[in-house]
Amino acid sequence: MLIDVPELISLDEILPTEPLLMMGAGPVPIPEQVARANSIVINHLGDTMAKIIDQVKQMSRYVFQTQSKWIMGVAGPGSAAMEMAVTNLVWQDTRVLSICNGFFSSRLAEMASRVGAHVETLKVADASIPDLVEVKQVIERFRPQVITLVQGETSNTVCNKNLAEISQLAHQYGCYVIVDAVCTLSTMPLKMDEWQIDAVITGGQKGLSSIPGVSLIAFSERAYQRIHSRPTKSAQWCLDAQLAEQFWHRSSYHYTAPVSGILAIHEALALICKETLESRFARHLRCSLALQRGIEALGLSLYVPEEARLNSVIGISMPNGIAQKALCQHISNRYRVEIAGSFGLDIVRIGQMGEQSRAHHLFRTLHAFGCSIRDLGGKIDLPTGMAELERGLQANA
């Protein structure tokens, strides 16, 4: 006897008739060119793929701002790239200092402790950035070999604006620095070589505006020497950089590469190169600041003070009496705009990564956001908010 065929429900019945505008904390909308590339399957080995991989590495060097040849892709979420950075540079008894601002930076600490590292965490007070003097003291006391931190902590919308100083300081003490730039890469400056970072991680579905499931990592030359001289093999076979080297640097087989996703990321990187980093950073800054001014002009407040505020994802404190879940559901159902709640904090988050930072998306999102709060009984000044958004976009143009 066979198990019965299940009752079939078509995708059309499941998907919304009008696509949702994805303005949450990722995944973000993808350009048409990326979507097209993602529909193609080619041989994962051979000359065509070799040419594509070569270009992905060259364009990545520009986006990461590094001369290092050690760029690799990962079939997996941003977390797989985080795990690749950690498990290749950290092993049993490695001394790791994890600077923790929230959910994602703590994930790096968790990954390090799972491979048997001796992990010390430096917990940064909510809505603020690490104090350099304190970082220096911990380094001098604990003498870490590896330091992990995020550039932008998506969970509570904090940006470690002193990342360059922290990284350069850590370097003076001989530490290897791992930076999670999943939500920030290509949305704001990050200079891997100049800032002396040893591993930078990004996912596909945030700043790069590609699809989820294929991520990128860059190791410095120095980091790569550490990987080549490690005393034991990594327990993670798929994430082993020396095995990934087969595919990413020797045109041979490691595992079957996610070809469509790599083609998609190729197009996403090509769009960044065409736009140039300078214009792309300016676009993100202009859009994010205009949206922030618009939100404040509605009568709401932003969760993080300006000196620590992330622009790539905006955290908004909930108005009294409105539940974040109800707000996210309402704006999605009624206005077809998707925004994000948060892990544990009483905030909602609106993304400003890649294709999210477009004026027409901002007008629709702010309007839907304001209307939703009003629908749920909140008091806001919608015309002033919309006018401030417009003014912000003009002022910073």
User: Which of residues 216 and 241 has its CB atom nearest to ligand PLP in the complex?
Assistant: 216
Determine if 66 is a binding residue for ligand PLP (CB under 6 A): no
Which own/partner pairs from 108-113 qualify as long-range (CB within 8 Å, at least 24 positions apart)? Answer: 108/82, 108/148, 108/149, 108/150, 108/178, 108/180, 109/148, 111/82, 111/83, 111/86, 111/87, 112/86, 112/146, 112/148
Find the part of the chain contacting ligand PLP (CB under 6 A) among 28-36, 58-66, 73-81, 274-282: 73-81
Are the beta carbons of 389 and 363 closer than 8 angstroms? Answer: yes
Determine if 203 is a binding residue for ligand PLP (CB under 6 A): yes
User: Which of residues 78 and 392 has its CB atom nearest to ligand PLP in the complex?
Assistant: 78
Alpha-helical (H) ranges within 189-252 are 221-228, 241-250
Determine if 216 is a binding residue for ligand PLP (CB under 6 A): no
Strand 158-159 with 152-153, pairing: antiparallel
- Candidates 154, 167, 209, 234; binder of ligand PLP (CB under 6 A) is 154
Kindly state the smallest distance separating residue 216's Cβ from ligand PLP, in Å.
12
Determine if 315 is a binding residue for ligand PLP (CB under 6 A): no
Determine if 183 is a binding residue for ligand PLP (CB under 6 A): yes
Determine if 73 is a binding residue for ligand PLP (CB under 6 A): no
Determine if 354 is a binding residue for ligand PLP (CB under 6 A): no
Determine if 77 is a binding residue for ligand PLP (CB under 6 A): yes
- Candidates 96, 178, 179, 182; binder of ligand PLP (CB under 6 A) is 182
User: Which of residues 146 and 158 has its CB atom nearest to ligand PLP in the complex?
Assistant: 158
DSSP 13-42: HHS-SSPPEE-SSSS----HHHHHHTT---
**Residue position matching structure tokens 């955290």:** 315
Kindly state the smallest distance separating residue 24's Cβ from ligand PLP, in Å.
11
Strand partners for 152 = 159
User: Which of residues 206 and 293 has its CB atom nearest to ligand PLP in the complex?
Assistant: 206
User: Which of residues 294 and 315 has its CB atom nearest to ligand PLP in the complex?
Assistant: 315
Burial label, 156 (beta-carbon count in 10 A; 0-12, 13-18, 19+): buried
Number of residues that bind ligand PLP (CB under 6 A): 14
Determine if 190 is a binding residue for ligand PLP (CB under 6 A): no
Determine if 263 is a binding residue for ligand PLP (CB under 6 A): no
Kindly state the smallest distance separating residue 27's Cβ from ligand PLP, in Å.
8
Tell me the C-alpha distance between 26 and 354, whole Å: 10
| Amino acid type, 27 | P
| C-alpha distance from residue 383 to each of 246, 300, 307, 380 (Å) | 57, 14, 28, 9
Alpha-helical (H) ranges within the chain are 11-14, 32-37, 47-64, 78-89, 103-114, 132-142, 163-172, 221-228, 241-250, 259-275, 277-298, 324-335, 359-375, 382-395
Kindly state the smallest distance separating residue 97's Cβ from ligand PLP, in Å.
18
Record the tokens describing residue 56, joined without a space: 């992905």
- Candidates 180, 198, 267, 338; binder of ligand PLP (CB under 6 A) is 180
User: Which of residues 87 and 372 has its CB atom nearest to ligand PLP in the complex?
Assistant: 87
**Residue position matching structure tokens 């294929």:** 214
Find the part of the chain contacting ligand PLP (CB under 6 A) among 85-93, 175-183, 187-195, 319-327: 175-183
Q: Which residue is closest to ligand PLP by CB?
A: 78
> Cα 14 to the chain's mean position, in Å?
28
Strand partners for 218 = 71, 200
Determine if 78 is a binding residue for ligand PLP (CB under 6 A): yes
- Candidates 24, 26, 73, 144; binder of ligand PLP (CB under 6 A) is 26
Strand partners for 100 = 123
Site for ligand PLP in 100-129 (CB under 6 A): 104
Residues making contact with ligand PLP (CB under 6 A): 26, 77-79, 104, 150, 152, 154, 180, 182-183, 203, 206, 212
